[in-house]
Amino acid sequence: MNHTFQQITQEKLPQIAKEIIELFKDERIFAFFGKMGVGKTTLIKEICSYLNVEDIVCSPTFSIVNEYHTVEDESIFHFDFYRLKNIKEAYDIGYEDYFYSGYYCLIEWSEKIIELLPQNFVKIQINENESDGSRTIICENF
């Protein structure tokens, strides 16, 4: 399944987050792609809000992974592989335990670990529209 959201502004993000989760309701691995500052973390915050995360959601740039808990006491894992020096570091944190846990995994800088992604995942590409600063979000199921 593929879906494109166009002319997205900050105000539309809560609705977009809801639609993404509902469109891909059976998926748990979401790999985010886009330039620095395009809004990956911002969209992840909205997805976590929709999934009823109780914790403060912030980018795990230095810790690589943050674990959040929902009101139903389910875990959601948020990864930021930007600072990963090599693929071995992903093995060192035990990525398999997270990716195959059955819980949501929201992954920033997925291109750094693309070969480790499970067979089924949702690719979310965020692009900035230079003409007006809005975003285009392209979701593809792999």
What are the Cα distances from residue 121, in Å, to 117, 128, 133?
7, 23, 28
Please give the Cα distance from 114 to 99 (Å, whole number).
Answer: 12
Please give the Cα distance from 51 to 70 (Å, whole number).
Answer: 7
pLDDT (tens digit, 9 = 90+) per residue, 59-85?
A: 988 889 999 999 999 999 999 999 999
> Residues with Cβ < 8 Å from 62, sequence gap 6 or more?
83
**How confident is the model at residue 68, as a pLDDT?**
98
> Total domain count for the chain?
1
pLDDT (tens digit, 9 = 90+) per residue, 35-47?
A: 999 999 999 999 9
Which structural domain, as residue segments, surrounds residue 124?
A: 2-141
pLDDT tens for the chain, 142 residues: list them.
Answer: 899 999 999 999 999 999 999 999 999 999 999 999 999 999 999 999 999 999 999 998 888 999 999 999 999 999 999 999 999 999 999 999 999 999 999 999 999 999 999 999 999 999 999 999 999 999 999 8
Chain-wide mean pLDDT for the chain? Answer: 96
Cα angle: 26, vertex 32, 37; to 5 degrees: 145
**How confident is the model at residue 61, as a pLDDT?**
82
Tell me the β-bridge partners of 123. 31, 140
CATH number of the domain residue 9 falls in: 3.40.50.300
**How confident is the model at residue 62, as a pLDDT?**
84
